[in-house]
Structure 1
């Protein structure tokens, strides 16, 4: 026998009313029932102001900065068509993850993404703290090397920025580019991770997208941990991987330049 979900098709005011009724019960609703029709919301401290998070029993589903509670709830409902109820506390580990920029242990609820969107977000999540990668790198890691524009669109729809760090994805010329919370917020986040955004921007202005060490013969993205250890006397810049290979350099095994 097929089991019917009693909340199927509930949206808008009807779902909001049912969620409110369930929340007002004198006895607890059956385990898991409320989470099947509603998500929880909480205001949390973080690297950006006015940070609100929505989460379900599966994990964090939505995160936005710069909104009050009402505007956040409206943005959530517009995208997910589910009501929001206030939570007493954030999910375990969320606040430390936002503080450190290392969110690997926080469960995420990313149901509803396309396979491509999920692949793009997995690639972005693999970028280490304090480093950046261009859109082309993300496209390659997602298995669609020619879909660079589509990668930008998928990252623009990232439901959980900061937890999936799309602020670490930059333009192919090395410049920071746009961000869901604005370009200034992106630079602020990168500086908070000790990325020398001014040095990277200067390299971009001079057409340098990769840097190599003439002692190791390895070429990296400028923010790669290995690139940061190259002393100025042994650093050489390249416009791209083809030019580096032509000069006898091989790509870094850690940052894997595209």
Structure 2
């Protein structure tokens, strides 16, 4: 089934954004509390915590358009909120689209996103894009972790990242057990398939048949192949 958010993020570059367009700004509710939201006629263009004092200046610098107060309240922000990413570069949109494909209740490392966009060596560039994600909470950069599976930084704060992931169904205690022992892949000795730890297939592997790996290279050497759902890079 087609995902409307992914379809929007996959749309061709519509070209230059007109500088004489005026966007609106308002405060609305989000899953982590109130947020400042800038919107064009096509959707949300920029979102930040409600106490972000530099919101307007950053918006003008990045998007190049003025902001005026909205004449009506915005609906609460959810993962289905429409977005307008015309001000992003093609690479930025590719990264945001790959990030939007991560299922709720699961996480992926930055390297996974880099592979998904066809730039496996661009892990640092992917991290930069997600650190500047114009629409966090809608495009779920909170579902992207460090290479070892630890949560890492988040613009709303690390505690908020943990809170929103737990609300989405991620078992943080289970994830931490793998992180603390250096496990980055979980395989099944019955199927010969290796998954990222939060993949829903990995969660079905029983203790008796679970084979942990600390690297993709070790899993490959042992003859395991990668899960077709979470695509761990084997």
TM-score by length of 1: 0.77
Q: Which residue pairs with 1:30 in the alignment?
A: none
Asked which structure has the greater RCO (Cα within 8 Å, sep 6+), the reply is 2
Alignment of 1:66-215 (within 5 A): 66-67=50-51, 72-81=55-64, 82-90=66-74, 95=76, 98=78, 102-103=79-80, 106-215=81-190
Counterpart-to-counterpart distance in 1, 2:106 and 2:208: 22
Counterpart-to-counterpart distance in 1, 2:71 and 2:139: 22
Q: Once the 2 structures are TM-superposed, how far is the Cα of residue 200 of structure 1 from its aligned partner?
A: 1.2
Deviates more, 1:81-90 or 1:154-163: 81-90
Counterpart-to-counterpart distance in 2, 1:206 and 1:78: 43
Q: Once the 2 structures are TM-superposed, how far is the Cα of residue 49 of structure 1 from its aligned partner?
A: 1.7
Q: Once the 2 structures are TM-superposed, how far is the Cα of residue 217 of structure 1 from its aligned partner?
A: 1.5
- Partner of residue 42 from structure 1, selected from 1, 26, 33: 26
Q: Once the 2 structures are TM-superposed, how far is the Cα of residue 253 of structure 1 from its aligned partner?
A: 0.5
Q: Does 1:217 align with 2:217?
A: no
- Partner of residue 39 from structure 2, selected from 41, 55, 58: 55
Q: Rg larger in 1 or in 2?
A: 1
Give 5+ residue unaligned stretches, structure 1.
1-6, 9-35
- SS of the residue corresponding to residue 123 of structure 1 reads helix
Q: Once the 2 structures are TM-superposed, how far is the Cα of residue 198 of structure 1 from its aligned partner?
A: 2.4
Q: Does 1:226 align with 2:189?
A: no
Is 1:41–1:87's contact at 8 Å kept on the other side of the alignment?
A: no
CA RMSD after TM alignment: 1.9
Deviates more, 1:59-68 or 1:113-122: 59-68
Q: Which residue pairs with 2:6 in the alignment?
A: none
Counterpart-to-counterpart distance in 1, 2:203 and 2:28: 33
- SS of the residue corresponding to residue 194 of structure 2 reads strand
- SS of the residue corresponding to residue 88 of structure 2 reads coil
Counterpart-to-counterpart distance in 1, 2:95 and 2:132: 11
* More helix as a share of residues: 1
Q: Once the 2 structures are TM-superposed, how far is the Cα of residue 37 of structure 1 from its aligned partner?
A: 2.6
Counterpart-to-counterpart distance in 1, 2:71 and 2:61: 20
Aligned residues: 215
TM-score by length of 2: 0.84
Give 5+ residue unaligned stretches, structure 2.
1-17
Is 1:38–1:85's contact at 8 Å kept on the other side of the alignment?
A: no
Moved over 6 A (4+): none
